[in-house]
Every structure is written in structure tokens, then in C-alpha cells.
Structure 1
Amino acid sequence: MKKMAFAATFAVLFTANVQADTVGLYLGGQIWQSEANGILGEKNALIDFNLKKEQQINYFVAVEHPFPLLPNARISSTSLDTTGNTTLTQEFSFGGETFSAGDDFDASFNVSYVDYTLYYQLFDSGLFSFDLGLTARDFDIIVTGTTIIETTLDVHKPCAAVPGIYTPGDEFCNTLTSTTSSVTTTGKIKTDDIMPMLYVATNISLRLTGLSVFAQGDFLLIDDHSLYDYQVGLNYDLVDSFSVDFNLNLGYRAVKMEFEDLNNLYTDLEFKGAFVGIIVHF
């Protein structure tokens, strides 16, 4: 969050110091209803935790200019948080802790990343545009697993002596009481990493309708992991004036995260679903 705030402030200050008719500032955000599915854990112990559908929020700031040798800049922030639960069918090691078969296991998957993108607008005819660039994706990932183990202890408590009936020490002169205690065991994996990605984006305007079709994606260039993040949808010009444009967009987004030993974290997860968003252009 702090990284994104700093970057957005820098972009606004940069734009304010350049003539308004030569530089465009874009601010946007989305509400995304994402459905998560897949497996995660440590090597040779990947489990489906029945991750829940959650509502996510992401936003971006971009600066475009007419200087041909300098790339345009875009910075976006995305959070993907979800939880799940399963009953373990086998012994499971995670985050330095070992959990037993039969344990009721709660998983929490919290991912946030900031994309720093430099790109060139290779083609723009007014009706069709195509952008190409590079993204550095800065990940922060925290995965936790928790189980609560309850134990019951039986205690024999001697009763008071009753003359002629019970004396202390008699096998019948005891009462049985039970006490229950619970222990919460948590395993955690925390990692942060920066990954290089290819950035592509295109927009096709539908003449005289105020509508346009757009597609945008980031795809991992090199690494042992498999990672992509793309979205497609429709954009509608609600306000189109000399000083400001206000657009509404609807679409579908998918994020794939298949990590191989990212600080001992292994995942094969996909988040996908519909979103609604706005873009303001100054």
C-alpha cells in the first residue's frame, strides 16, 4: 500500500509539472468478484483447501506522453485474499509445523502485488491501439495454516468420607471429572519476490457507440514458475469532454499463480471472475 501511494504521488507531481495538453494522467480502479481454485502447500504435500469466492479491489495510475523515445509509465496494485478449510486425510507439514491426519485445517492465502510497467504505444489510429512493454511485479505473499486440537483429561477426585459407608481410598469413593483444553497450531510461509513480465494491451473502438473492446495482460518472461494475469472486457465513455474523460468498464479477469519453491511455497492456483471498474482521464 505504501509503495503504491508513493508511486501515485510521484506520477501526479510529474504530470502537474508538464503541460496539460501534452501529458495524460489516468486513474482507475476495479471491484472484482474472484473465484479461487487449486492447490497449495509445500513440496509433495499440495492440498485443495476449498478456497472461498471473495471480492477483491485493485487500482492503477498511468502517465502517457508524446515523447517518442521515452516509455509511458503505469503502476497498479492488486490484492488477492481468500480463506479455506479442509479435514486432512494425511499428515501435512507446512511452515515448519506438522499437522496430523484428521485435523480440521484452516488456510489463509493473502497475496498483494504492485506492478511497475514501462510501455510504448506502438500503434494508435484513434480506433485501434496496441501497447507493448515490461512489468516488474513486486509480490508480498503470506500463507498461514491453523488447526485447533482439543484434548480431554479424565481426573479421579476422592470424595469425602461417609462413616460406615465410604472411606478415603475405596474404589467407589471417587468421582470422575473431565477437563478439556485446546491448542492452536499455526504454520506460516511469508515471501516477497520481484518477477519480470511481458505487458501487452489493446483497445478497439466501436465507431459512434461510445463503446470499445479492450484486452490487457501480463505474462511471466523467465523463471521456474508459471504466471499470467489477463483481462478482457467492454469500456463505455460516460463523459467525454475537453478537460476530463470518465469511463465505465465491465469484464472478466484471470490470474494464474503456479509457484515452484518460492521460499518453500508451492501453489497451483487460479483466480477468475467478473469485474466492474472506472477510469478517469485528465
Structure 2
Amino acid sequence: MKQFVKILPVAALAVAPMAANADTIFGVFAGGQYWDGNVDGSISAFDPQVRLGNYDDQSEAFSSYYVAVEHPIPLIPNFKARWNDMTVDGEGINPESDFSHVDYILYYEIFDNDIISIDLGVNAKRFDGNSSYIVADAAVTPVEFSGTVPMAYAATKIGLPFTSWWINAEASAVSFDDSDIRDISASVEYQFLDNAAIDASVSLGYRDMEVKLDDIDDTYSDIRFSGPYLSVDVHF
């Protein structure tokens, strides 16, 4: 996946730090997500291709957690790291495939008030994945794929006036050659705790992630992960 590091969406580079409305105070955000996902598609390796896994609406439980830091310095982007655990059980010759990865996100708040916020930036999605296949019903042969995928990033949060409810959306995407990767989510959030020391909320949403790889580290995939999720977030 060395090709990934050469691709950076022009739109992401166009984000102007001077336009950012930085937070007036230093803030730390953290949260965890349980994702009831469906897996649909396939993953193969080598040329001619060896089919490693074929999935047809297979149900899997995924999880992720994140930490974000926002600050009042306009020229320096805010930072968010999200760890995604995404292991898929296999069938037949494929014991399992691991699409776990880390999102390293740099972003600017280009608009932020009590009703709406808009973030723009870049997401370096770091894969250290692997799959495998069984040869002659005996030896397990591993297949690894790793690399960093530069993606355009955007997020928005809209508050419903005079309530503790919010509508959220977040997206990362990139397309190059015959490979496409996207990670999109939307949710409804309820803030059940709001005081000077800590804010806390719970969200119910839907996440859709598609990974199409064409000859990346001899790996080919056309696989989609989608389904509802439940998350808890805190702000210190």
C-alpha cells in the first residue's frame, strides 16, 4: 500500500488555517463505540487472484474508541485519533481477515457556535491488516497489507434549539486509480450531563465503510462494512 502515501486530496490541502475558529478553551474529548456491523463483499490476493474471503451480509461486532484535543491556537490544527477493531471471521479456506486500523485526523473548526459546528481537515487512515488462507487443508498462509491512506475529512454537528439533542455527521473519503475508500457516519446525540467540569452524551447512529483495493500489497478487495452503532462521549 505504498501508493497510498502519494495520494492526498487537493480539497484537503485547501483547508485554510486562517479561516478556522479555534476553541476559546483547551478541551479533551473521548469516547467509545459499539458497532453492530454487516460485512458484504470479498477479499483476494496475488495475481492470478486467490480468494481469501467471500462475505454475504455476515454479522460482526466491531468497536472503536477515540481521543481528541482542541485548543485556542488558530494556526495549529486540532487532533483526533480513533482506533477501530474490525476482525471478520472467515469461512472455507479463509480463517479470518483483519481490517483494524487507526484514524489520525488533523482538522480545523471553520465554524463553531452553540447551534452548529463544521470541521474540515485530513485523515491519515493507517491500516496494519492481514488475512490468510489454508493450503491443502493444513498450512495457514498469512497475507498482510499495510499502509497509510490520506483522506479528505469533514464533520458537522447541529444542535436542536432549546433541547439537549444534536444531529451529527462525519465523513472521510479518497479515490485514486481503481481503489476507493470511504468511511461515513451519521447519528442522533443526547447530552445527559452538562456542567463546568464535564459533558457527557450518548449517540445512536449508522456507519458505512467501504474498502476497494486494487493490487495494494498484492491485495484486492471490494468489501463493505455497515450497520447501526451506539456510542458514549465525554468532554473534559
Q: TM range, normalised to the smaller chain?
A: 0.7 to 0.9
Q: Does 2:63 match 1:57?
A: yes
- Structure 2 residue ranges without an equivalent (≥5): 1-23
Q: Does 2:179 match 1:225?
A: yes
Give the corresponding residue for 1:130.
Answer: 118
Q: Does 2:25 match 1:22?
A: yes
Query: In the alignment, residue 39 of structure 1 is paired with which amino acid?
Result: S
Give the corresponding residue for 2:129.
Answer: 141
> Residues 231 and 252 of structure 1 are in contact (CA less than 8 Å); yes or no, is this contact kept in structure 2?
yes
Give the corresponding residue for 1:110.
Answer: 98
Matches within 5 A, 1:220-259: 220=174, 222=176, 224-259=178-213
Report the 3-state secondary structure (helix = DSSP H, G, I; strand = E; otherwise coil) of the residue aligned with 2:218: coil
Q: Distance in 2 between matches of 1:220 and 1:79?
A: 21
Query: In the alignment, residue 49 of structure 1 is paired with which amino acid?
Result: N
**Deviation readout 1:130-166 (Å, 9 max, x if unpaired):** 00001111111110122664xxxxxxxxxxxxxxxxx
Taking structure 1 as reference, are residues 64 and 196 closer, same or farther at Cα in structure 2, changes over 3 Å only?
A: same
Give the corresponding residue for 1:67.
Answer: 73
Report the 3-state secondary structure (helix = DSSP H, G, I; strand = E; otherwise coil) of the residue aligned with 1:53: strand
Report the 3-state secondary structure (helix = DSSP H, G, I; strand = E; otherwise coil) of the residue aligned with 2:122: strand
Q: How many residues align?
A: 210
Residue identity (%): 30
- Larger C-alpha radius of gyration, 1 or 2? 1
Taking structure 1 as reference, are residues 132 and 205 closer, same or farther at Cα in structure 2, changes over 3 Å only?
A: same
Q: By how many angstroms is 1:221 displaced?
A: 5.6
Matches within 5 A, 1:179-218: 184-218=138-172
Query: In the alignment, residue 172 of structure 2 is paired with which amino acid?
Result: D
TM-score w.r.t. the length of structure 2 is: 0.83
CA RMSD of aligned residues (A): 1.8
Q: By how many angstroms is 1:128 displaced?
A: 0.8
Give the corresponding residue for 1:10.
Answer: none
Query: In the alignment, residue 22 of structure 1 is paired with which amino acid?
Result: I
Q: Distance in 1 between matches of 2:216 and 2:161?
A: 47
Taking structure 1 as reference, are residues 128 and 190 closer, same or farther at Cα in structure 2, changes over 3 Å only?
A: same
Query: In the alignment, residue 197 of structure 2 is paired with which amino acid?
Result: S
**Deviation readout 1:249-275 (Å, 9 max, x if unpaired):** 110001100001111110000000000
- Structure 1 residue ranges without an equivalent (≥5): 1-20, 87-104, 150-183
Q: Distance in 2 between matches of 1:25 and 1:203?
A: 17
TM-score w.r.t. the length of structure 1 is: 0.70
> Residues 94 and 131 of structure 2 are in contact (CA less than 8 Å); yes or no, is this contact kept in structure 1?
no
Runs of at least 4 residues off by over 4 Å: 221-224
Q: Distance in 2 between matches of 1:54 and 1:249?
A: 20
Query: In the alignment, residue 34 of structure 2 is paired with which amino acid?
Result: I
Q: Distance in 2 between matches of 1:233 and 1:218?
A: 15
From 22, 32, 36, give the equivalent of 2:35. 32
